[in-house]
Amino acid sequence: MMGMILSIILFFSCNNDMKNVIQVSEFEKLPELSSENIHFSQSEYGKIVISIETPELTKTKKGEEDDEAEIMEFPKGIRVVQYSSYPDTLTMISANYAVNNSEDGVWKARGNVVAKNVKNQECLNTEYLIWDQKKGIIYSNQKVQVSTPDDIIFGEGFKSDDQFTDWQVEKVTGVITFENENFTNEDDGEEQ
């Protein structure tokens, strides 16, 4: 009888301990920082070079205490603007979701990703894009569409420098080219 009571006590104490273990592990997953409606800028030599806007930001730490990486997550979207000379925009990237790992310097964006090179009037549309800060490149292995003043290029895969100036569409699946011709109306001789 005593053995049965001891077994029941151990059984219930183990269940309680498991609940505590689950609660503690859930607590460790909580973000270190959580904030809403964020707008911050990075400057160099007193000049704004990048600004970031997001409706929501969470920051958590991942890994061992000595070797922790910070994970910044933008679950409701992000808009990053790089300036040639504030307020003149050089490039702009926006997405419905983004995450950054401080350890490897990699940003991942997904959901309606748009990257623009304002100076060259070029625009990239895709559902997934990676920016490797350490290598200075942006790339995707998903379907992409790049619009320029002269063409719209469709493909699977994309690679560029992080300024979006030297880019290449991989596995091109189609190109639409615009011709800039002046048409005249033969009835009245006026240009359209």
The full set of domains in the chain, from first to last, is 31-177 (2.60.450.10)
**pLDDT, tens digit, 9 for 90 and up, residues 39-74:** 988 888 888 888 989 999 998 887 665 567 788 899
CA 113, 36, 86, 127: dihedral to nearest 10 degrees?
A: 0
On whether the CB atoms of residues 148 and 120 are closer than 8 A, the answer is: yes
Summarize pLDDT for 116-159 with one digit per residue, the tens: 988 888 999 999 999 998 898 999 999 999 999 999 999 999 99
